[in-house]
Structure 1
Amino acid sequence: MKILLPDTMPLDPTLPEGWEAVVVDARAEIPAAHHDAAALVVWGSSRRHLASAADLPQLLLVQSLAAGVEGILAAGFSDDVVVATGAGLHSRTVGEHALALLLALVRRLPEAREAQERHVWSDELGGLQPLHPEGRLTTLLGARVLVWGFGSIGQTLAPMLQGLGAEVRGAARSAGTRAGVEVIAEADVAAALPDTDVLVNILPATERTAGIVGREVLAALPDHAILVNVGRGATVDQVALREALEAGTLGAAGLDVTESEPLPEGDPLWDAPHLLITPHGAGGRPVGADERIAANLRALVEGGEVLHPAAR
């Protein structure tokens, strides 16, 4: 049995007996010599690569190392092929990045950097400061954080925020308690927004979530609130976001994702005030990829349950 590994990152999973691993170019069509593959690992793979993989006659498993698998599902794999997501492989790095964006905005690091470039020691940014000034969030101590899309990443991020003194709640399709954190139902998000200092968006891109963080959501947040998006760019109405920042009805925003990537050079979003943009760098380095591949191969061989199968 053969598993095809991408050349986009070094991988060395422990394989079941009788399996061999072959590294292939993730940007090119799969060579005819490897059309007998039973499993395929996808990471940074091109549409051309995925299209050729969809025709592999003996394929049983596609293991993505990314949490989102929209591109894989769109390639047209047979329903007999199990598509497994990389859910959880990016929780620590994306959680870390979300925290970095938030702390940079709370502690006004972009403004400090600008002052440094001008060789200005800013009394506004330093010296004696109130802990909770009117109209601005300057600390996570006592900050009310709502994490919308409370999956693995949110559950990893929550204790980081709590360790810095924030009060954290999650929001998901159903209410309850997850990882010791109160989770409200999505139907109750609108009512929670006026009492939210920080909205962390980790929502996936679906028809339901397209532009869901729009004018109504942004208007419901306090004027000092901060938005952080490490989910998908399509979930945020970028025009509404820019307008809110320009009008001062939103305190600040940190985006690691945008609706179009790369964000076009001429897009006015670049120049929005109090906005920090990073180029989709929160993930990009799956943690535990070898172990996930090995576990799902064992499940395939032994007839067990594949971890994190994609909904088809």
Structure 2
Amino acid sequence: MKLTTGSGLHDHTVAEHALRMLLNAARRFYEMRDYQTRGQWPGVFGRAAAGPRAGEVSQAAGSEGAGVVNVGWRSSVDEDALFEALEAGAIGGAALNVFKQEPLPKGNKLYKAKNLVLPPRAAGGRLQGAEELIVDNLRRFVAGQDLRNVIQVAF
């Protein structure tokens, strides 16, 4: 028995989603929406002093205006260090689509970070090319050729 995956079907939509989250974090559209909802317009934005690990994150990122976007399958981000860097203003913003624990637990401090975008797991968006992948694998199977995206499963 051979099993295959839909690997590659979400590549374009995940990349689009990452770009949207990056732009949202960089331009702080979430703040604009908050002010709009309250019927206010911001005046001056303040910044807190850098925390102990925030400097490390900022230095690794390259500048205080840098951002972090993670749309991977599993979180590779130190969420505590990221939170400190965001709160200290050491980085410009971040957007995470995956977390160390999913779903992100209610009450997690990441929900309170003002310059962090936390969309639901939606980067995959719409399937593109699923029919073509299935038809191609069926043709390959009938022709006795190697299938695309084969995974190894131990029974």
TM-score w.r.t. the length of structure 1 is: 0.42
Aligned partners of 1:85 and 1:308 also within 8 Å: yes
Unaligned runs of 5+ in 2: 46-54
Q: Which amino acid aligns with 2:84?
A: E
Shift of 1:216: 5.7
1:200 maps to: none
Q: Deviations over 1:103-136 (max 9, x none)?
A: 21222211110110121234569xxxxxxxxxxx
* Deviation of 1:285 (Å): 3.0
Bigger helix fraction: 2
- Deviation by residue 1:11-57 (Cα, 9 ceiling, x = unmatched): xxxxxxxxxxxxxxxxxxxxxxxxxxxxxxxxxxxxxxxxxxxxxxx
How far does the alpha carbon of each residue in 1:123-154 deviate from its partner, in whole angstroms, 9 at most, with x for none? 569xxxxxxxxxxxxxxxxxxxxxxxxxxxxx
Q: What residue identity is the alignment partner of 1:236?
A: V
SS in 2 for 1:253: strand
Whether contact under 8 Å (2:7, 2:149) holds in the other structure is: yes
1:110 aligns with 2:30: yes
Q: How many residues align?
A: 143
* CA distance, structure 2, for counterparts of residue 98 and residue 250 of structure 1: 17
Residue matched to 2:50: none
Is residue 307 from structure 1 mapped to residue 151 from structure 2 by the alignment? no
**Offset of 1:276 from its aligned partner?**
0.6
In the alignment, structure 1 residue 277 sits paired with structure 2 residue 106: no
**Alignment partner for residue 90 of structure 1, among 1, 5, 10?**
10
* Mapped partners of 1:311, 1:267: distance in 2: 36
Tell me, what secondary structure is at the counterpart of 1:234? coil
For structure 1, list consecutive stretches of 5 or more residues without a partner in the other structure: 1-59, 63-83, 126-214
8 Å contact 1:218–1:241 — kept in the other structure? no
Match of 1:294 among 135, 145, 150: 135
Larger Rg: 1
Structure 1: 4+ residue segments shifted above 6 A: none
Q: Which structure ranks higher in relative contact order (CA pairs < 8 Å, sequence separation ≥ 6)?
A: 2
**Which of 66, 75, 81 is the aligned partner of 1:234?**
75
Deviations 1:172-222 (A, max 9, x none): xxxxxxxxxxxxxxxxxxxxxxxxxxxxxxxxxxxxxxxxxxx96654112
CA RMSD in angstroms comes to 2.3
Which structure's residues are more often strand, by fraction? 1
Matched, 1:100 2:28: no
Residue 252 of structure 1 aligns with which residue?
Answer: 93
Shift of 1:255: 0.9
TM-score for the superposition, normalised by structure 2: 0.80
- Where in structure 2 are the equivalents of 1:1-312 lying within 5 Å? 60-62=1-3, 84-122=4-42, 219-221=59-61, 222-310=63-151
